[in-house]
Amino acid sequence: MSFQIAGIELTSRFFLGTASYPSPQVLQQAIAASGAQVVTVGLKRQLAAGGSTQNDFYKLIQASGARLLPNTAGCRSAREAITLAKMARELFGTNWIKLEVVGDEHTLQPDPFELVTAATELVRDGFEVFPYCTDDLVSCQRLLDAGCRILMPWGAPIGSGQGLINPYALRTLRARLPGVPLIVDAGIGSPADAVQAMELGYDAVLLNSAVAHARDPVQMALAFKLGIEAGRLAYEAGIMAQQDMAVASTPVTGRPFIL
């Protein structure tokens, strides 16, 4: 089940967000239960926390052994996102950045134009950019042209729990970009949604709210871990094609059988 992202070999295909957990202890336990080796953190949120709270948070992440993927959540322009990304690199000593530039306040849909502008400059400056984008094929191709090596198309609007609202578009992305690591990000509501994403051939799933807001986040983290693993195994094994008509699983003519 191991795979590579930006030259780093990972065994977990579960990327976990760190916001809105009931307590730091629950977050720590959820990370352990999930098996996640990459966790995301909103830099704006942590800068707002400040002081010892901020330091304690990063100690918790370090203790988990997970790799940190800072994100530019809350940014509304390429310039703002670029500035925040550079701050993240200085603070955490990583060139990984999950690039988010919001274009619509209602859906929190990424702005495809500002996203490409920011990605172009950040790639040129040595960042490994993980762009949070829509499932539009042309927009994704423009991000690849800008130098991105990984794409993070949404399943549905952030925090909506709607699952994969456009499986056709996601399936098209996977077919048209066969060599590109693709991570479904946002909108995942249940382990069944994660299974569906993995069965489409996606490389990983990133989610936050579905675990953090669960009645038992630790148990839900484990449920998603198992769902993601099951979906990937099913994809690799080869899922049977759907049929319009019934096909007998035990033919009784034309083949010998033993009683």
Question: What letter would DSSP give residue 108?
Answer: -
Choosing from 44, 59, 86, 98, which is the catalytic residue?
A: 98
3-state secondary structure of 204: strand
- Taking the C-alpha atoms of residue 152 and residue 202, their distance in angstroms, rounded to an integer, is 10
Rg (CA), the chain: 20
- What do you get for the CA distance between the two ends of the chain, in Å? 40
The amino acid that residue 147 corresponds to is G
Backbone phi, psi, residue 174, to 5° = -65, -40
- Taking the C-alpha atoms of residue 31 and residue 61, their distance in angstroms, rounded to an integer, is 9
- Taking the C-alpha atoms of residue 56 and residue 221, their distance in angstroms, rounded to an integer, is 22
How distant, in Å, are the alpha carbons of 67, 199, 239, 245, 247 from that of 242? 39, 14, 9, 9, 10
For residue 98, indicate whether it is catalytic.
Answer: yes
Catalytically active residues are 98
